Amino acid sequence: MYYVNKIALGIFNPVTFGVAVFIISLLFLLIGLRLLKHNEGDKSKKLFVISIFALAFCFGWFYFWSTGMCQRTMGKICGLYEYGLVEIEGLPQCDAIVELGGGMGGDTNISKYACLTPAASRPWHAARLWKARKAPFVITSGLGTRDTDGQLLIDLGVPDSALIYENASRNTEENACFTQRLIRDKLALTNARVLLVTSASHMKRAMMIFRKCAPNLTCIPVVTDYGSVNWFGPLSLKLFIPSVHDFLGNLVVWKECLGVLGYKLRGF
């Protein structure tokens, strides 16, 4: 299922669709020019009109996916932000903090230190929770997180004795399955209450998966990494100004929307 998900994300994404429309519009334009040379004016005119509309659509498509308004619209349609920010003081004490790794970076061929990306908010917030004594252990879950998230947690003052590494999972389903097993084996708990830490856009899908794949864990959602878009504030001109930053953020939102839809179809 892991590879099926990766292939689906590669095929069904805004960039693939936009590029496909652009290529088709160019093909129609070239065919129209060829027909014009053979004095087939009516057919070439129709192809020119189709190609112009396709190019205009392509422009509008990439413009929309490059704005903060796209993030806000897609996020609300798919309900990605139903889990709001909760102050640490209002959270209960739990058996463990489960921090889902999110591609924080860290090429150990170049440096032994983790690279800070927006995903660094996850271990950073997990460290805050541990320092507030909300749980005695922090579990970092994800392939390679021992060298990235784990290193940052140590740098932020969480001792190695309080860290438990789930260093094999490749996606959120495996996060849930492997973490439940780890808590059973390492902490000797059949049932446990955990603080689940992940990015705001990822939390809805994460909660769906943990309920299904880790039924013995009672997860309390703790969101972080909201990004730069004000999801709940009034409309502003900034939401309609395209940027590379917003475009990259929208690809993450699209991935989460597609994931939520896919898991709902699977009965999660």
Q: In this structure, what token pair is assigned to residue 191?
A: 């049932």
Tell me the CA distances in angstroms from 171 to 7, 175, 220, one per residue in order: 14, 6, 20
Among 259, 238, 207, 268, which residue's Cα sits nearest to residue 71? 238
pLDDT for 37 equals 72
Provide the CB-side half-sphere exposure for 148 (13 A, CA).
Answer: 24
Quick check: helix, strand or coil at residue 220?
A: strand
User: What is the enclosing helix (H) or strand (E) of 224?
Assistant: strand 217-224
Distance between CA atoms of 75 and 147, rounded to whole angstroms?
A: 31
- Output b/e per residue, 164-188; b: 16+ Cβ within 10 A: bbbbebeebbbbbbbbbebbeeeee
Question: Tens of pLDDT along the chain (268 residues)?
Answer: 556 666 666 677 899 999 999 999 999 888 888 877 776 667 778 888 888 899 999 999 999 999 989 988 888 888 888 888 889 999 999 999 999 987 676 555 566 666 677 678 899 999 999 999 999 999 999 998 888 899 899 999 999 999 999 999 999 999 999 999 999 999 999 999 999 999 988 999 999 999 999 999 999 999 998 765 566 678 888 889 999 988 988 888 898 888 898 888 888 8
pTM value is 0.84
Distance between CA atoms of 167 and 179, rounded to whole angstroms?
A: 10
Quick check: helix, strand or coil at residue 194?
A: strand
pLDDT for 1 equals 59
